[in-house]
Amino acid sequence: MNDASPLEDRWTHEDIIKSFDTDRMFFRPASADLVRSIFSKYIAPSDKILEVGSGLGELTKLIPEYQSRITQIEQSPRVSQVNKRTNPETNLASANVYNLPFPDGSFNVVTGYSVFDTLADLPKALTETRRVLTAKGKFIHFLDMAASVNTLFWTYKNSNYIPFPAHGKEGEAAARLIPRSKLKNLLLSVSEEKRGFYEGYATDPESYYVLSIKNNSMDLLDLLAHDVENFAPDVSSITFNEFFYNNIQAALKQTGFTTIEAEREMGTSFMKPQGIYLKYPNRQLYYNNVGNIEYFNQSSKGHHPLNQIQIVSILHTVVAQKK
Ligand SMILES: C[S@@+](CC[C@H](N)C(=O)[O-])C[C@H]1O[C@@H](n2cnc3c(N)ncnc32)[C@H](O)[C@@H]1O
């Protein structure tokens, strides 16, 4: 792999992974429903399963009945430590997806939960994944949060294009790819005070992007997005999600996999309005679309009784088979 990416490194911290909890807690039972149905469709009882980038053990918490059958690997020692402490029965090895410590053909299934979008070198990770899979072995990936910016920023690093922040549809994070050759004109089109920031951004977009998120200065990115839109109205934006979906499919094809399915799939669950759900008495449907949470205040015309809340979780799901 190339130099360590600040974006890739960012996900290896316990606090960052824990910060997803606020979004995830509502949707876990519904996400579990989907994961369970995909696993039972594609995984045989005797199959050996490897989970890459297990973090704090989100996937096995959703489907505890698979825990003893899953070998987990995680590159961050700190995150692994916490996972082991909270899930003592975890079968966890410290390892990197780019260099897996297993012989060829060791697993029937390699899985990951919101992990492959954080990897800087997808083709390399999938080549190594394919190596440890048996003939016709399967790769199953779920994305329950919005795709990380990594894939996009890494793809265009040192290229002729600079990914500038953009407004995606429905507020999804997106980028507009501006040719480097047009940068000078872009800089001339903005005010003097902004120019320094833009110049800095253009030299190291990923670090600037992450720093702006960390400092909660999304308004700066917002401003930038407006200026770039005015400067290049003909350049369309691509959301990080769209980019990741396209990219993982291209990388799977390139590394010798056949994609069986790659789409947003839905899991559902029903809950009595209790605990945290009691705080929102008028809401009867909670809807999560890969990290973009929406709460629908629906009248209960559907098939669920009034005293229950329907939780829907949509995860981007990829299933592929080793050719
Ligand atoms: C976004 S977190 C997701 C963690 C967990 N699957 C979850 O859903 O909460 C990505 C995880 O992948 C791990 N990771 C990142 N790069 C990796 C690599 N090259 N090899 C193995 N694990 C990696 C990170 O340390 C982190 O725990």
Instruction: Decide: 122 in ligand 1 pocket, CB within 6 A.
Output: no
Instruction: Decide: 55 in ligand 1 pocket, CB within 6 A.
Output: yes
- Three-state DSSP state, 6: helix
Q: Choose the weakest-confidence range: 85-99, 252-266, 281-295.
A: 281-295
Instruction: Decide: 98 in ligand 1 pocket, CB within 6 A.
Output: yes
Q: Please tell me the residue having the least CA distance from ligand 1 atom 11.
A: 53
Digit-coded pLDDT (tens) for 44-89? 999 999 999 999 999 999 999 999 999 999 999 989 999 999 888 8
In terms of C-beta density within 10 A (0-12 exposed, 13-18 middle, 19 or more buried), how is residue 35 classed? buried
Residue 275 has pLDDT above 80, yes or no: no
Pocket test for ligand 1, best of 74, 80, 128 (most atoms within 8 A of CB): 74
Q: Which amino acid is at 237?
A: S
Closest CA to 273 of 288, 264, 259, 284: 284
Q: Which amino acid is at 311?
A: I
Question: What average pLDDT does the segment 197-208 reach?
Answer: 88
Distance of CA 245 from the midpoint of ligand 1 (Å) = 18
Q: Choose the weakest-confidence range: 76-90, 106-120, 282-296, 306-320.
A: 282-296
- φ, ψ dihedrals at 261, nearest 5°: -150, 150
Residue 306 has pLDDT above 70, yes or no: no
Whether residue 175 contacts residue 201, with contact meaning beta carbons closer than 8 Å, is answered with: no
Digit-coded pLDDT (tens) for 153-168? 888 988 999 999 998 7
Digit-coded pLDDT (tens) for 176-187? 999 999 999 999
Lookup: tokens for 264: 């947003």
Which pLDDT band holds residue 1 (cuts at 50, 70, 90)? very low
Q: Please tell me the residue having the least CA distance from ligand 1 atom 24.
A: 12
Pocket test for ligand 1, best of 118, 124, 140 (most atoms within 8 A of CB): 118
Whether residue 41 contacts residue 22, with contact meaning beta carbons closer than 8 Å, is answered with: no
Q: So what's the pLDDT on residue 300?
A: 47
Whether residue 138 contacts residue 108, with contact meaning beta carbons closer than 8 Å, is answered with: yes
Q: So what's the pLDDT on residue 50?
A: 98
Q: So what's the pLDDT on residue 279?
A: 66
Which pLDDT band holds residue 120 (cuts at 50, 70, 90)? confident
Distance of CA 55 from the midpoint of ligand 1 (Å) = 5
Question: What average pLDDT does the segment 209-219 reach?
Answer: 79
Helix (H) or strand (E) holding 136: strand 133-143
Q: Which domains does the chain have, with CATH numbers?
A: 6-145+240-266+315-322 (3.40.50.150), 150-239 (no CATH), 270-314 (no CATH)
> If you compute the radius of gyration of the chain from its CA atoms, what whole number of angstroms results?
21
